[in-house]
Structures are given as C-alpha cells and as structure tokens.
C-alpha cells in the first residue's frame, strides 16, 4: 500500500528547463522524509506538485490516500504547507493572520482565537502579536508562516526550507514542534539545506539532483554508502593550506576539500589510525603547524558532497541561483 505521500514518475518542464525528470517518492505514515538537493534540484517543484499548486506534465501522486490530480480540493483539506517564502498578509497583525487561517478552515471564531493565541505563544510571537506583520523581521515572518501551517493539525505536512533564516534558538524551537507533531502521527515532507536538520528530524532521506531522486535511505545508510573515514586538519597558518593540500592528496582516496576561512582541509582515507600517524609525520616534516587533526566518520555533508558534487549551501532562501554567487563550489568526488 502506498504511504501517506506517494509519487511516481513526476515530470515537470518549464520551457527548456526540466525541473522534474521522473521523481518517485514514498513516505510511510507518521514518518519524516528529508528532501535534500542543491539549488535548482527540483525540491520546491516537487512540493508544489504534491500540494496541488502545480500540475505535473506526467506521473501520478497521492497524498493522504487521495489522488492529487483527481481530487485536489480534498487533498488541500488534508495537508498543511509552509512554503520557501513566507506567505503572510503584510497588512494584518500576526494574530489576525492566524485567526484568518483558522476561519478559512471553518473553525469557530472562538476556537480560531484560542488556537492563534496558543501558536503565538509557542512560536515566541506573543509580544509582537498585535503589530502588523509589515513591521516583522524576516525570522518573525518565517515563524508566523510556520505557525499558520499548524493552525489545524493536518495528517500530512509539507515544509519547504522551514528553518532558513531562523536563529539557532528558533530552529531548535521548530525542531521540537516538528517532533511533537510527528509523535502525534503526522507525516512530514521537509526540504532543507541544513543537513544537521535532516540528520536530526528525518527518518528517511531522499537526495534530489537535476529533477531526479539520486539516492535514498536513512542517514546512517547513506553515510555507510559514502564509505571510509575522513582525515580533517586545521592548519595554523593560511599560507600553509596549499602545501597541506598537497600532503593530503598523497594519502587520500578522493578529492580534498578546503574551507579557506576556517583553514580546514578534509580528505577521504582508508587506513585508520596508522595512516593518521603517517599524515601527521609528513605534515611535521614539511613544517606545517596544526591547530587540530583527527579522523572522523563521514557526515551527511560528505554524503551530499559526494553525491551531488556540491557542498550544501544554506542561503537566504531567495531564488534558484544555481551559480555565480561566488560561493565556493566543491568538485565532484567519487562515491
Ligand atoms: N515557474 C517557473 N518557471 C520557470 N522555471 C522554473 C519555475 N519554477 C522552477 N523553475 C526551474 O526549475 C528548476 C527547479 O527549481 P526548484 O525551485 O524546484 O528548485 P529547488 O530544489 O527548490 O531549489 P532551491 O534550493 O534553490 O530552493 C530550476 O532550474 C528553476 O529555475
Ligand atoms: Mg526551493
């Protein structure tokens, strides 16, 4: 039986751009799927197709047991959606925005008021509740948008980059809300550029690139697939980075990645502690001072990098900028 969210062969083209090129998904009821992928991979388009905002050119999808193409209105009543760009009415206050959503879902006025107050409290917006949202900061708007998605407790929720632009405390707050929701039986599809978030919340992860699911599994399964260990070095002096990179290349089983601003170099290796000792000796011989060096297991960031050839780049959540941002792009490494 298909899960609470099910998609088969979704295709969507915009002009020359094939945004979706046959996306398949299956999310069992009461679980969280983390949809990861570089900018422009097709995450938002997938969410829009599944939430009836966009009609796919081909393929089929079911949400909460309902066919998305045949019964869009019923599907809309069974889902909650928080989009990549906060959708709040600027001229209403935070409280009015939430009450309005309640009324759209046919809640009685008293119940809608009570629910709005509860959510404002939960998302730490009580003090700002009676100001028009025009005066809200980006993070406040984002929180209000998330609260709006939770006015009714739908069986299936979609959150597109829910914590982009939130500070660490508010991100934690949202994670707690999500965990509560899921323990209450909600099924959630979440897109994120924060791999720690996927690691933390998602039962299962699907990596999307160029409109296709290119890998699927639990975080541990994906890490195991990426394989091996990593040697991570932080050199003391920035000018030693190039030499250190040369040394690591001699020991590595793949591309060395460099984070200039933290002076950190990482390379996949096999050979464990013995190899680590050799690396340390060689760096020493070359006269490179180290602030830190160690061996570690692959993280979800390594998985993402080796699968897509991009480092995850939490942005400001604005736009499909695929390139030209001047942000460091890592080169592809072999899986
Ligand atoms: N309405 C549209 N018209 C034209 N092209 C579009 C439209 N929506 C999306 N695209 C294109 O489809 C591709 C997938 O976009 P999508 O927004 O799904 O990516 P994404 O994975 O959500 O990226 P991001 O991480 O930047 O949010 C991109 O190349 C994008 O430019
Ligand atoms: Mg998107």
How do residues 207-226 score in pLDDT, each as one tens digit? 999 999 999 999 988 888 88
pLDDT at res. 303: 85
pLDDT at res. 332: 31
Rounded Cα distance between 130 and 95, Å, is: 6
pLDDT at res. 242: 96
Rounded Cα distance between 274 and 264, Å, is: 21
Bigger pLDDT: 181 vs 130: 130
pLDDT at res. 86: 64
Mean pLDDT to the nearest integer, 275-296: 95
Residues 94 and 143: beta-carbon distance below 8 Å: no
Rounded Cα distance between 335 and 333, Å, is: 6
CA distances, 117 to each of 79, 144, 150, 302 (Å):
22, 12, 12, 42
CA 217 to centroid of ligand 2, rounded, Å: 21
pLDDT at res. 125: 95
Distant-in-sequence, close-in-space partners of 16: CB < 8 Å, separation ≥ 6: none
Confidence tier at 313 by pLDDT (50, 70, 90): low
Q: DSSP letters of 117-144?
A: HHHHHHTT-GGGTTSBGGG--HHHHHHH
In terms of average pLDDT, the best of 75-84, 183-192, 218-227 is 183-192
- Locate the ligand 1 atom nearest the alpha carbon of residue 20 and give its number: 14
User: pTM for the complete prediction?
Assistant: 0.81
Bigger pLDDT: 312 vs 316: 312
Confidence tier at 330 by pLDDT (50, 70, 90): very low
pLDDT tens per residue across span 100-158: 988 888 889 999 999 999 999 999 999 999 999 999 998 899 899 989 988 888 899 99
CA 42 to centroid of ligand 2, rounded, Å: 7
CA distances, 139 to each of 40, 64, 162, 166, 308 (Å):
23, 30, 11, 5, 29
- Locate the ligand 1 atom nearest the alpha carbon of residue 43 and give its number: 21
Rounded Cα distance between 196 and 217, Å, is: 16
Residues 4 and 64: beta-carbon distance below 8 Å: yes
Question: Ligand 1 site: residues with CB under 6 angstroms?
Answer: 14, 17, 19, 37, 39-45, 84, 320
Q: Name the average pLDDT for the chain.
A: 88
Mean pLDDT to the nearest integer, 271-281: 92
CA distances, 207 to each of 224, 270, 313, 331 (Å):
15, 25, 14, 18
Mutate to test the pocket of ligand 1, among 11, 15, 45 (most ligand atoms within 8 A of CB): 45
pLDDT tens per residue across span 80-98: 888 766 678 889 999 999 9
Identify which ligand lies nearest to the alpha carbon of 36.
1
- Residue closest via CA to ligand 1's atom 2 equals 14
Residues 151 and 101: beta-carbon distance below 8 Å: yes
Mean pLDDT to the nearest integer, 267-274: 88
With a cut of 70, say whether residue 315 has pLDDT above it: no
pLDDT at res. 247: 96
- Locate the ligand 1 atom nearest the alpha carbon of residue 322 and give its number: 26
β-sheet bridge partners, residue 289: none
With a cut of 50, say whether residue 335 has pLDDT above it: no
Whose CA is closest to 101, among 90, 88, 85, 84?
88
Bigger pLDDT: 40 vs 299: 40
pLDDT at res. 80: 86
With a cut of 80, say whether residue 310 has pLDDT above it: no
pLDDT at res. 270: 87
Give the CA angle between residues 60, 61, 65 to the nearest 5°. Answer: 135
């Amino acid at each position: 039986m298909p899960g609470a969210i099910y998609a088969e062969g979704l295709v969507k083209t915009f002009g020359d751009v094939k945004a979706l090129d046959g996306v398949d998904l299956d999310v069992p009821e009461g679980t969280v799927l983390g949809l990861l992928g570089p900018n422009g991979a097709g995450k938002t388009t997938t969410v829009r197709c599944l939430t009836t905002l966009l009609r796919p050119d081909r393929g089929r999808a079911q949400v909460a047991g309902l066919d998305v193409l045949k019964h869009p209105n019923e599907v809309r009543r069974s889902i909650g959606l928080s989009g990549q760009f906060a959708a709040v009415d600027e001229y209403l206050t935070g409280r009015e925005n939430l009450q309005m959503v309640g009324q759209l879902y046919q809640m009685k006025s008293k119940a809608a008021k009570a629910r709005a107050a509860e959510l404002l409290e939960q998302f730490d917006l009580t003090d700002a509740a009676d100001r028009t949202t025009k005066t809200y900061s980006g993070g406040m708007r984002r929180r209000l948008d998330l609260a709006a998605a939770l006015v009714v407790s739908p069986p299936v929720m979609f959150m597109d980059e829910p914590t982009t632009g939130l500070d660490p405390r508010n991100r934690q707050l949202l994670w707690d809300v999500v965990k509560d929701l899921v323990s209450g039986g909600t099924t959630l599809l979440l897109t994120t550029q924060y791999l720690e978030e996927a690691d933390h919340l998602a039962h299962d992860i699907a990596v999307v690139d160029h409109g296709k699911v290119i890998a699927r599994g639990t975080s541990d399964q994906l890490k195991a697939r990426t394989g091996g260990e990593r040697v991570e070095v932080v050199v003391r002096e920035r000018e030693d980075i190039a030499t250190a990179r040369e040394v690591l290349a001699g020991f590595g089983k793949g591309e060395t990645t460099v984070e200039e601003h933290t002076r950190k170099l990482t390379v996949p290796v096999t050979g464990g502690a013995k190899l680590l000792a050799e690396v340390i000796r060689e760096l020493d011989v070359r006269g490179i001072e180290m602030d830190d060096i160690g061996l570690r297991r692959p993280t979800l960031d390594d998985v993402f990098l080796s699968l897509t050839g991009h480092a995850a780049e939490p942005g400001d959540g604005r736009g499909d900028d695929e390139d030209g941002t001047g942000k460091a792009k890592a080169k592809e490494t072999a899986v």
